C-alpha cells in the first residue's frame, strides 16, 4: 500500500502502536456518536478492530511531517469494481485545522488518478454536520437519504449517501 504525502502530513499504513494514538477517538462518546458501533471500552478490542485483516479495506494513518502522534485515520473499501467507500475519524483536539480535507484530498487523488477508481462514496448520519460539510467541500454530491437505514448503539439512524465521480474531482 502506498504512502501518501501532503504538505503537512505523511499518510502511511497502520502499524503497531497506532491503537494508542487513536484510543481518544475510538473511546469517545462524542467522536463515536455517529459510528456504526459504540465507543470502545477496551484497548485490546480496539486493536483487534483496527488490525482486522478480514474487513476488506485499507487504512491510511496521517501523522505530522514535523513529528508527533497520528491525528487522522482514513479508509477505503471497495465493494464493487472501481467503486470505493471512504471513511475517516479525527483524534479529538485536532478539529478545525484542515487535516481531514488535506489528507482526504490526497487519498481521493490517489484512488482516482493512480488506481483508476470511477466512483467514491461515503455513508453519513445526517446529524453529523461536520462530516457532511467536509464531503461537500471536497466536491461530493448528496445523492440519497435513507430513513432508518441501520440500527446502531444510538438506535435506528437515517443515512445520507454522498458520491464523487472521477471526472468531477478537482485536485
Q: Which fold has domain 4-168?
A: Aminopeptidase (3.40.630)
* Residues 70/58, Cβ–Cβ less than 8 Å: no
Q: What is the pLDDT of residue 79?
A: 84
CA distance 34 to 139: 22
* Mean per-residue pLDDT pooled into runs of 10, the chain (171 residues): 96 96 95 92 96 93 96 95 97 95 98 98 96 97 96 93 97 79
Q: What is the pLDDT of residue 113?
A: 97
CA distance 102 to 33: 24
Q: What is the pLDDT of residue 36?
A: 87
Query: What are the residue boundaries of the structural domains of the chain, listed by start?
Result: 4-168
13's grid cell: 499504513
H/E segment holding residue 166: none
End-to-end Cα spacing for the chain = 21
Predicted structure pTM score: 0.94
Q: What is the pLDDT of residue 17?
A: 94
Amino acid at each position: 500500500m502506498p504512502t501518501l504525502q501532503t504538505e503537512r502530513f505523511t499518510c502511511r499504513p497502520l502499524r503497531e502502536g497506532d491503537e494508542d494514538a487513536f484510543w481518544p477517538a475510538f473511546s469517545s462518546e462524542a467522536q463515536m456518536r455517529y459510528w456504526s458501533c459504540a465507543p470502545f471500552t477496551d484497548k485490546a478490542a480496539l486493536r483487534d478492530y483496527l488490525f482486522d485483516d478480514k474487513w476488506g479495506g485499507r487504512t491510511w494513518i496521517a501523522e505530522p511531517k514535523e513529528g508527533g502522534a497520528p491525528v487522522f485515520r482514513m479508509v477505503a473499501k471497495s465493494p464493487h469494481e472501481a467503486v470505493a467507500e471512504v471513511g475517516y475519524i479525527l483524534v479529538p483536539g485536532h478539529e478545525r485545522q484542515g487535516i481531514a480535507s488535506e489528507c482526504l484530498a490526497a487519498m481521493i487523488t490517489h484512488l482516482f488518478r493512480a488506481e483508476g477508481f470511477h466512483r467514491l462514496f461515503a455513508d453519513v448520519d445526517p446529524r453529523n454536520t461536520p462530516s457532511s460539510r467536509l464531503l461537500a467541500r471536497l466536491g461530493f454530491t448528496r445523492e440519497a437519504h435513507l430513513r432508518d437505514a441501520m440500527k446502531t448503539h444510538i438506535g435506528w439512524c437515517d443515512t445520507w449517501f454522498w458520491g464523487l465521480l472521477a471526472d468531477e474531482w478537482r485536485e
